[in-house]
Structure 1
Amino acid sequence: MHLTHKALNFPNPNYHSHGPSHSFNSNPTPNPGLLTLPLNLLSPPKRRRSVLFATNNRGAVQIAVANNHPLFVPPSPSYDYRTFRSAKNVDVSTLGNLCVDIVLNVPQLPPPSFHERKAFMDRLASSPPNKKYWEAGGNCNMAIAAARLGLSCVSIGHVGNEIYGKFLLDVLHDEGIGMVEMSNSTDVVNCSSASIETLLCWVLVDPLQRHGFCSRADFSKEPAFHWMSTLRREVKLAIRNSKVLFCNGYGFDELSPSLLLSAVDYAVDVGTSIFFDPGPRGKSLSTGTAEEQRALDQFLRMSDVLLLTSDEAESLTGLGDPILAGQEFLKRGIRTKWVIIKMGSHGSILITASNIACAPAFKWVLQQPWGVVLVGM
């Protein structure tokens, strides 16, 4: 199957530019000792087909998707969102962290100096590179993967009215993913044009295949879209009509802690489950501003499902044992039901109040922007 874009790239374990890693197993081997999870919360359509995503001649990944997968929330300003009042029609919505990855080979990686690094990025951004180097990044990967597995998905976030924003909308539309814009027209009245543009992440690869990342979020103490202050009616309706709201720590790079908290509070009020992956940002948020610490604490206590690597779990609990760390999150949590600890090549661990289950890792060949690598989950 020919893919018109490389929207679904499976990140390197060290790839922490703007979003968490995601792994998928299309045909897992049954494990008699593995707890069967009550996944009726996420119920994909019954009619399915298989699509083979070729990574290169050395391997491929097969993922099942729905034949009749609909576009639940078309990215149209004229769409009547009131039609969603009656039921939770969307399996999962993602909140924020929408960006365009631009993957470039460079003679050398950006210098460490703040000002030199900023000048380096400005030179890159002075003229748009060829579209063949563009990819949908951040939470787009989460939404695309879920959509290809047959779930109905909506992306809630902000994209600008420029070529990069239109590119992201096209990618999401082609994948059958709805888009709900977070900004109000009144939000942008006093903003500079640069501050409302689609967020870009420059993925830079040197001749030794080392990689570095640059984004304008790296050069500001405020979130990229700090000018957003309230949840639009359309955003609330999208959250209300979603079974799951997926959030990650990189959302703090774009949205203010108070706005993120308002989304959490609203999701709780309307019975939408919250999945939270703090990612590498969790550690810095835990020692950040008082507002960031409060918001992180609220996410950790009010989320139904937490997803962390073992290192991230240790950094937030001080416990090196992943099972004890997971149990600590359950103790601290108010709504927390599952804690999933990702153990790299060792698989993952699910901790609940009454069960501990282990899922083994699996191996596949995948395509990276900087080469083909064989990795575990």
Structure 2
Amino acid sequence: MHILSLQIQCLQSLSLLFALSSLPTLNASPEPSIPQLNPMDCPPNPIFLQNPRLTHAIFPTVSYKKSHSRRFNCKGIQVSVTKQHRSNSLIFRNSSGDGERLASIGIKEIDVATLGNLCVDIVLNVPNLPPESFQERRDYMERLSKSPPDKKFWEAGGNCNMAIAAARLGLRCMTIGHVGDEIYGRFLLDVLHDEGIGMAGMSELDGVEISGAAYETLLCWVLVDPLQRHGFCSRADFSKEPAFSWMSELSTEAKMAIKKSKILFCNGYGFDELSPGLIISAIEYAVEVGTSVFFDPGPRGKSLSVGTPEEQKAFHKFLRMSDALLLTSEEAESLTGIGNPVLAGQELLRKGLRTKWVIVKMGAKGSILITMSSISCAPAFKVNVVDTVGCGDSFVAAIAFGFIHNISMVHTLTIANAVGAATAMGCGAGRNVATRKQVIELMEAANLNEDENFWNEIIDENLEAEEITFLSRMVINGRNNRMNCVPLQKIISEMLPQLEAARVNGVIPS
């Protein structure tokens, strides 16, 4: 097998047949023929312009193998597929000078791409949170902006949190969005680069064509009072239009990143930056190219559901076309009018066209994953909470990890709870999200918040479900007359090899 290093982000390799008899006999190995490339997969300028230091190279191989499989997979769907195995590799350059690290992955070279919501968080301790009134709050932010604080208070925010957490689990990550060509934009690119995360620009315009604040990196002021309460403000809060409303269509880079990703993750805050029409085009393109869509509406979900006609259209497109929906129990109730999180999740599944998973986050109680045929429940880990910023983003990253690696649903919830809880033990998000080592230590401590009455109340209404699986620290593995109980120790023993593989193959060490 001969390796061709192509300095191009995305090439679709084809099977190579070598006519050995036609090659000259030399002491050196014979040179391979050049693979035929599909020009549709190779736009004229495929390099990620906003992060030129990140180099991608694809190494075609020469063999395909086909096999047929029929099974009930961990995503709750019975499938009969023809498997096509191909070994591709993707190079990321890390910042420590260790050179290039390779990881064999599937046809889609990127595991997770995030859409929009790239910002720099400036985290400050303040005596009082910002005032409530619109004008006073705006004046407050303008005063802050006039004297930028020391760089030690800056942190990557928004979807960077999810991407960093996913990269630390060994997933190959891209961010799709916009940053300006100023100190904050360069800071954000530096952080992403250091974490081994790629960047695809949303716009093919430059700062010469788009002037002023409209082109600049979005800043979010994260203000913490003495009681550890948080207040947030950014310029997006004071405009009726999205911060980057001048973007009208997906760039070539953005489309390429979506096409080459297994998951496209979006959250409600993306609407603060991107127009509903642009977001819809991203969803539709992801569906077209076979990329799974994950959506977490977050606090913006409620306002989007009653927003402008364009916002409502995009929001409901997400609810119908997403492969996985992630919501808090309050958000699920707000959307469905159903208080029980399992019943609310089942209602969202019925209304969705493509939805496979609905994950309901319940804070200190734990989380639930609902499919059309099963319910999986996982109590949360008990921890001393320092800061909850970034916990939800870290949780989503672990859900994506389980989805991509076809890990069982209760195992996926367990590691997601652990990643979210480990993040809560630190201060702030961005580079402060949980590491693999912290997650493993937390799982091994086996300190679950098992509230039997709480879970019985939820499950009692759902005994007709085909399968109910429950994580427990205290029960013996097996079924009783109500559910299939899986002990935490079993999950830990089965997940540690996966997490160790993430350390070995991951972008950065733990």
Q: Same fold (TM over 0.5)?
A: yes
Structure 1 contact 72–152 (Cα < 8 Å) conserved? no
CA distance in 1, matches of 2:285, 2:211: 30
Structure 1 contact 70–152 (Cα < 8 Å) conserved? no
Q: State yes or no: 1:292 paired with 2:284.
A: no
- Per the alignment, residue 274 of structure 2 pairs with 255
CA distance in 1, matches of 2:257, 2:428: 33
1:71 shift after superposition: 2.3
Deviations 1:274-317 (A, max 9, x none): 01101111111001011111100000100001000110001111
* SS at structure 2 position matched to 1:251: helix
Q: State yes or no: 1:37 paired with 2:74.
A: yes
1:266 shift after superposition: 0.2
Deviations 1:52-75 (A, max 9, x none): xxxxxxxxxxxxxxxx9942899x
- TM-score w.r.t. length of structure 2: 0.56
- Per the alignment, residue 142 of structure 2 pairs with 122
Q: State yes or no: 1:104 paired with 2:124.
A: yes
Q: Which runs of 5+ in 1 are unaligned?
A: 1-34, 40-67, 75-85
Structure 1 contact 72–178 (Cα < 8 Å) conserved? no
Indicate the structure whose relative CO is greater, using CA pairs within 8 Å and at least 6 residues apart.
1
Change in Cα spacing, 1:69 to 1:105, as seen in structure 2 (3 Å) is farther
AA at the equivalent of 1:110 = P
* SS at structure 1 position matched to 2:137: helix
- Per the alignment, residue 4 of structure 2 pairs with none
CA distance in 2, matches of 1:248, 1:103: 21
- Across the two proteins, how many residue pairs are aligned to each other? 300
CA distance in 2, matches of 1:123, 1:351: 46
Deviations 1:138-164 (A, max 9, x none): 100000000000000000011110111
CA distance in 1, matches of 2:187, 2:140: 24
1:368 shift after superposition: 2.5
- Per the alignment, residue 224 of structure 2 pairs with 205
Change in Cα spacing, 1:260 to 1:293, as seen in structure 2 (3 Å) is same
CA distance in 2, matches of 1:71, 1:317: 43
1:213 shift after superposition: 1.2
Q: Which runs of 5+ in 2 are unaligned?
A: 1-71, 77-88, 96-105, 385-424, 430-441, 450-510
Deviations 1:94-128 (A, max 9, x none): 00111111011223222222111111111111122
**Alignment counterpart, residue 426 of structure 2, candidates 355, 367, 371:** 367
Structure 1 contact 93–154 (Cα < 8 Å) conserved? yes
- Per the alignment, residue 245 of structure 1 pairs with 264
**Alignment counterpart, residue 71 of structure 1, candidates 45, 68, 92:** 92
CA distance in 2, matches of 1:90, 1:228: 24
Deviations 1:20-40 (A, max 9, x none): xxxxxxxxxxxxxxx99359x
Structure 2 contact 338–344 (Cα < 8 Å) conserved? yes
CA distance in 2, matches of 1:69, 1:341: 33
Structure 1 contact 306–339 (Cα < 8 Å) conserved? yes
Q: State yes or no: 1:328 paired with 2:387.
A: no
**Alignment counterpart, residue 136 of structure 1, candidates 156, 176, 182:** 156
* SS at structure 2 position matched to 1:363: coil
CA distance in 2, matches of 1:72, 1:237: 20
- Per the alignment, residue 175 of structure 2 pairs with 155
Change in Cα spacing, 1:163 to 1:326, as seen in structure 2 (3 Å) is same
Percent identity of equivalent pairs? 70
Change in Cα spacing, 1:168 to 1:376, as seen in structure 2 (3 Å) is farther
- Per the alignment, residue 53 of structure 1 pairs with none
Between 1:356-365 and 1:144-153, the stretch displaced more is 356-365
CA distance in 2, matches of 1:300, 1:117: 32
CA distance in 2, matches of 1:201, 1:117: 13
- RMSD over aligned CA atoms reads 2.6
- Per the alignment, residue 224 of structure 1 pairs with 243
Between 1:198-207 and 1:247-256, the stretch displaced more is 198-207
CA distance in 1, matches of 2:237, 2:351: 31
- TM-score w.r.t. length of structure 1: 0.75
Change in Cα spacing, 1:134 to 1:340, as seen in structure 2 (3 Å) is same
